[in-house]
Amino acid sequence: MMKKLLIAFLCVPWLAFASGEALHLDKAPDRSHDLPALQNGAKIFINYCLNCHSASYMRYNRLRDIGLTEQQIRDNLLFTQEKVGELMTIAMRRADAKQWFGAAPPDLTVIARARASEYGSGSDWLYTYLRSFYRDDSRPSGWNNVVFSNVAMPHVFWELQGEQVLGPDHKLTLAKPGLMKPEEYDAMVADLVGFLNYMGEPVQNYRKELGVVVLIALAILFVLAYALKREYWKDVH
């Protein structure tokens, strides 16, 4: 009897998982080594996202890491701050944002890493989310999202993407085209997601490159240490 109860207890989580619908995420293009794409993502983020979402752990001068000069940052991306060394903050208060939108917009500095802890890939989640808005008149903003049901955020890119509708088969259809073709919009979103992923860890590429160098150095040291060991112990029987 105890054996049967144990088997049933172990099977319950798997049955619960199987009963729910798995969230399908589209694969986000890798922009981590594409500096022009990251620069475009920074421009999109500052022009469209930074009005409501802060990136309060990121400084403007970190954009030098993706190939921008301080003068380019100052002339093209610095709209609300005075110095390129300042943080990417916003003027809107969280209390006001919660009253207007129903929820305060989250800080986006580490949003890719936060979603990665939940879904395995923060880039894939963001890439799918930003392409999955659809018209829903029952929502206060007039928009809903397949990935994030009943989201408070309106579709800020609707003029670019157009208007999608959700069919009875739960598939999205483009009802009204936007200023961009679907492939152009997808490429723009990929650039933005690439920048969001970069913000979560600006030194990610350097860390990986340094890791390879360290592993090579350790491999060389291992060979030298092994040769030294053989030399010391060659006369020991």
Q: Residue 190 belongs to what H/E stretch? A: helix 182-200
87, amino acid identity? L
pTM more than 0.75: yes
Question: What phi and psi, each to the nearest 5 degrees, are found at residue 103?
Answer: -155, 140
- Contact, 51 vs 57, CB < 8 A? no
**What pLDDT, on the 0 to 100 scale, is given for residue 143?**
93
- For the stretch 213-237, pLDDT in tens is 999 999 999 999 988 888 888 777 5
- For the stretch 114-147, pLDDT in tens is 888 777 788 999 999 999 999 999 998 899 999 9
- Kindly give, in sequence order, each residue whose CB lies less than 8 Å from that of residue 187, ignoring residues fewer than 6 positions away: 29
State the Cα–Cα distance between residues 152 and 45, nearest whole angstrom.
19
